[in-house]
Amino acid sequence: MKKFIVRFLLVVVLLALGFLIGSEFRSYDKKLSSKKASYASEFFGIDFNKDELDINLNKLNSLRNNYEKIRALEMPNSVIPSILFNPIPQGFEFDNNQQEVKWSKHDNVQLPDNPDDLAFYTVGELSVLIKNRKISSVELTTFFIDRIKKYDPKLFCLVTLTEALALEQAARADTEIAAGNYRGPLHGIPYGAKDLLNTKKYKTTYGAMPYKDQIIDMDATVIKKLEEAGAVLVAKLTLGALAMGDVWFNGVTRNPWDTTTGSSGSSAGPASAVSGGLVPFAIGSETWGSIVSPATRCGVTGLRPTYGRVSRNGAMALSWTMDKLGPISRSVEDCAMVFDAIYGSDDIDPTLYEAAFNYTPEVDFSNLQIGYIKSVFDRDTTNKAVNDVVLNTMKELGAELIPFELPEFPVYDISFVLGVEAAAAFDELTLSNRDDLLTRQDRGAWPNIFKSSRFIPAVEYIQANRARTILIDKMAEVMKEVDVYIAPSNGGSSLLLTNLTGHPCVVLPIGFENPREPNSMTFVGQLFDEATLLAVAKSFQDATDFHKQHPKMD
């Protein structure tokens, strides 16, 4: 009996101590929360007095409960926000008068004496060979599959070889063409897709270890449209993990011109594969330089379309207001052919706009205003020799170059919208700590960007997007001066600014500072006027031979 009483009293004492300790912790936690609120208000540059802090503290704690309930909802990467970005400036009018698209004529295209040379034919040239049945799609597809198997160990640009699907699609193309059912210039042409585009029965890894075995059993709209055009998917190609850089879960994708260096990114695999002759064209994506940068490094041509031109349904979301899909290929007109197949609305992506694409390869410079960003050209003395070639060539073609400047605006100060949207797109990764599986963990890598972006207030995110509205209108005002403008790809604010406003650009090779380091130039066009932009860029490219140069792969 005495032992029972002793034990009972001991339990009572322990419970009392626990209550007192818990009360102290609750009091301490409340003080700590108040202190945190004070620190937060100071950090965000807002002056609250003690009474205001105390009043708002309960509201903040209540909001945290709201956050927890929202986090409990199932929201895969494919769920888009109900607030949509609008890149259209005030008074903008769409051209909806669609006319017949015209392509350059490729007369007398023959198979090369050296079969390896076929790897560097343009889409236009390959299409003539296939249409005239000088080579079958199965033969061409097998040729590129063999090159992928041979050279990927050097380039690390392949995630998944879709060999069975490719041979099936190629055989279907040959049957259709033999029956006289020719679908157009992409019919029977092999291609690769950046591995953030969903494909039935094949993995879509996002280049990131947490998703390396992910299968989303659907085809992205772009994949469907290319299949409708008769193109043949041979490979899912690498991207830097979650669309940053060239580092993915199996290593670094290489630049074919110098395999000791990376191919840049995030469309690392598409640029590397096209440059090395592993595919004639590939689909990449850009949020802030992810087509322009690897195309520059690998010496190939890329088109970043206007925001709202190409469906992103079935593509990994990084930034709902900045993501764009576009082709990487050997030539400007190759990009035009691919764009013609993939642009336009679908029934799922609500961010798309209808506009005509009236491409023709001829251009009359007497009717066009071509600008160049004078301050950037003057400042870019490192690449002056190759930059001067571009300006001089344009003048020889008949273009009257107009000194042009972008609107003065704090574009880098609003660029955090990308980090905020990316953090939301991959919030589950952060909350589950699976971001620890990503290869890169340095200060500028996604795991830390995701975390730091959580400290950006929703009010500031909205304010930044209101600032984008001002920027869009300012850009529309200065673009009244030109139809197209030219800018060094890595100079000035043009790259970020036009990704924020949604303007289209073409990036193309312009020569070398040294034999293993290609340079590029960017041509930027009016919103939804890819036709004029591509025609102007093609005119320059046809007057040079930089796009015909390719790395020696053996």
pLDDT computed for residue 5 by the predictor: 41
Q: In terms of C-beta density within 10 A (0-12 exposed, 13-18 middle, 19 or more buried), how is residue 355 classed? A: buried
**CA–CA dist 18, 21 (Å, integer):** 5
Q: Could you list the active site residues?
A: 194, 266, 290
Q: Which amino acid is at 118?
A: L
pLDDT computed for residue 52 by the predictor: 77
pLDDT surpasses 70 at 387 = yes
Report whether 234 contacts 141 (CB < 8 A): yes
pLDDT computed for residue 28 by the predictor: 38
pLDDT surpasses 70 at 14 = no
Q: pLDDT tens across 258-316, in order?
A: 999 999 999 999 999 999 999 999 999 999 999 999 999 999 999 999 999 999 999 99
Measured over the CA atoms of residue 317, residue 318, residue 320 and residue 325, the dihedral's sign is negative
pLDDT computed for residue 340 by the predictor: 98
Which candidate, 291, 253, 285, places its Cα nearest to that of 272? 253
pLDDT computed for residue 36 by the predictor: 66
Two tokens, residue 338: 């691919």
pLDDT computed for residue 19 by the predictor: 38
Which candidate, 541, 513, 39, 512, places its Cα nearest to that of 329? 541
Q: pLDDT tens across 19-63, in order?
A: 333 433 344 344 336 666 666 667 677 777 878 777 788 888 888
Q: pLDDT grade, residue 235 (50/70/90)?
A: very high
Q: pLDDT tens across 158-214, in order?
A: 999 999 999 999 999 999 999 999 999 999 999 999 999 999 999 999 999 999 999
Which candidate, 306, 359, 312, places its Cα nearest to that of 332? 359
pLDDT computed for residue 478 by the predictor: 98
pLDDT computed for residue 40 by the predictor: 67
The residue among 3 and 311 whose pLDDT is bigger is 311
pLDDT computed for residue 264 by the predictor: 98
Q: What average pLDDT does this structure show over 428-438?
A: 97
pLDDT surpasses 60 at 10 = no
What is the value of pTM for the model shown?
0.92
pLDDT surpasses 70 at 484 = yes
**CA–CA dist 265, 453 (Å, integer):** 22
Q: Phi and psi for 374 in degrees, rounded to 5?
A: -60, -45
Q: Phi and psi for 248 in degrees, rounded to 5?
A: -125, -175
pLDDT computed for residue 1 by the predictor: 45
pLDDT computed for residue 9 by the predictor: 39
pLDDT surpasses 50 at 339 = yes
Which ranges of 291-383 would DSSP assign to H, the alpha helix?
A: 292-298, 332-342, 374-379
pLDDT computed for residue 39 by the predictor: 67
pLDDT computed for residue 42 by the predictor: 72
Q: pLDDT tens across 70-84, in order?
A: 999 999 999 999 999
Q: What average pLDDT does this structure show over 226-236?
A: 99
How high does pLDDT run on average in the chain? 92
Q: pLDDT tens across 497-535, in order?
A: 999 999 999 999 999 878 889 999 999 999 999 999 999
